[in-house]
C-alpha cells in the first residue's frame, strides 16, 4: 500500500501564438531582439513546434536554428543552435543567455552580416498557454497504465513539458505526484527523469511513458 496522496487531475492544453510585431533581418538583429523579447517568445520558438502537426521529421527542433539554416544559410550556427537542449536549463533566462552567447560567438567568427529579403525575416511569436480540464481524475499510480496511452499530446505536453516551468526542482507533474506516495515509487520516478522530451515528438514521449509504467506496474515489456 502507498501513502495517501491527493488525486491527479488530467489537464489538456493548447499554445496560442501571439504576434509580437518584432522581426529580424539579419543575425545581429536576431540576437538583439532575443536579448529583450518576452520570455514567452523564447519558450514558443523552442517548445511550440512540438504541438504543431509533424508530417515529416524536422531537421531542427527549434525555430531559431531552422531560420538560420533556411534563410541565412549558415549551417554551422544552425547546428550549434540545434543542439541546445532547453531541459538543461532551470529557467528561460538561462536558456536565453545560452542562445545569445552562441550567436555572439558566431558573429565574432564572421565579419560579414547577411541580410534576408523581407519575406524571409524571422517573425517573433510569443505563446499563451490555454489549459482545459479533461474531467479525468486518477487516485492511484497504477491507473496511469491505462490512462497514459489515451492521453492527448496536449496533455502530455502540459504534464511533462510545461510542468517543468511551473513546479519545483524542474520536475514534471508525474514525478511530483508519484513522489508523494513514498520511497517505493522512487525507481519509477528515476526512470521518468531519464526521459528527454525535447528531441522526440509528444507521441513518442507518450509511448516511452507507456512503456515505463507498464513495465513497472505489470512487469510487461512493450
pLDDT at 141: 95
Domain match, 101 and 154 both: no
pLDDT at 111: 72
24 lies in some domain: yes
Instruction: State whether 24 and 114 are in the same domain.
Output: yes
Give the domain-ending residue among 92, 126, 160. Answer: 126
Considering the domain architecture, whether residues 92 and 23 belong to the same structural domain is answered as: yes
Full domain range(s) for residue 199: 136-218
Q: How many structural domains compose the chain? A: 2
Q: What does the pLDDT read at residue 54?
A: 58
Q: Which grid coordinates are listed for 134?
A: 479533461
Residue 156 lies in a domain: yes
> Which stretches of the chain score pLDDT less than 70?
1-4, 53-58, 167-168, 220-222
If asked whether residues 108 and 173 sit together in one domain, one would say no
What pLDDT does 68 receive? 95
Establish if 5 belongs to a structural domain: no
Q: What is the pLDDT of residue 137?
A: 95
112 and 171 co-located in one domain: no
In eight-state DSSP terms, residue 170 is T
The answer on 154 and 113 residing in a single domain is no
Per-residue pLDDT at 222: 61
The pLDDT assigned to 8 comes to: 95
Residues 108 and 65 in one domain: yes
For residue 201, what are the CA distances in angstroms to 58, 98, 108, 205, 208? 10, 23, 34, 6, 11
107 with 21, same domain: the answer is yes
Residue 49 DSSP SS3: helix
130 forms beta bridges with: 14
Amino acid at each position: 500500500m502507498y501513502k495517501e496522496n491527493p488525486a491527479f487531475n488530467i489537464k489538456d492544453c493548447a499554445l496560442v501564438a501571439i504576434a509580437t510585431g518584432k522581426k529580424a533581418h539579419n543575425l545581429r538583429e536576431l540576437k538583439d531582439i532575443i536579448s529583450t523579447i518576452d520570455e514567452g517568445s523564447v519558450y514558443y520558438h523552442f517548445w511550440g513546434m512540438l504541438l504543431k502537426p509533424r508530417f515529416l521529421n524536422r531537421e531542427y527542433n527549434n525555430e531559431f536554428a531552422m531560420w538560420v539554416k533556411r534563410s541565412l544559410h549558415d549551417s554551422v550556427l544552425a547546428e550549434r543552435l540545434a543542439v541546445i537542449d532547453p531541459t538543461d536549463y532551470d529557467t528561460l533566462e538561462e536558456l536565453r543567455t545560452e542562445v545569445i552567447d552562441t550567436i555572439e560567438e558566431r558573429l565574432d567568427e564572421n565579419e560579414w552580416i547577411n541580410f534576408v529579403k523581407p519575406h524571409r525575416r524571422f517573425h517573433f511569436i510569443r505563446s499563451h498557454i490555454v489549459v482545459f480540464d479533461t474531467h479525468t481524475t486518477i487516485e492511484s499510480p497504477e491507473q496511469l497504465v491505462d490512462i497514459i496511452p489515451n492521453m492527448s499530446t496536449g496533455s502530455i505536453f502540459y504534464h511533462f513539458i510545461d510542468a517543468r516551468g511551473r513546479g519545483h526542482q524542474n520536475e514534471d507533474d508525474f514525478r511530483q505526484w508519484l513522489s508523494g506516495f513514498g520511497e517505493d515509487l522512487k525507481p519509477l520516478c528515476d526512470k521518468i527523469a531519464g526521459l528527454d522530451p525535447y528531441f522526440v515528438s509528444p507521441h513518442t514521449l507518450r509511448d516511452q511513458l507507456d512503456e515505463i509504467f507498464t513495465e513497472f506496474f505489470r512487469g510487461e515489456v512493450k
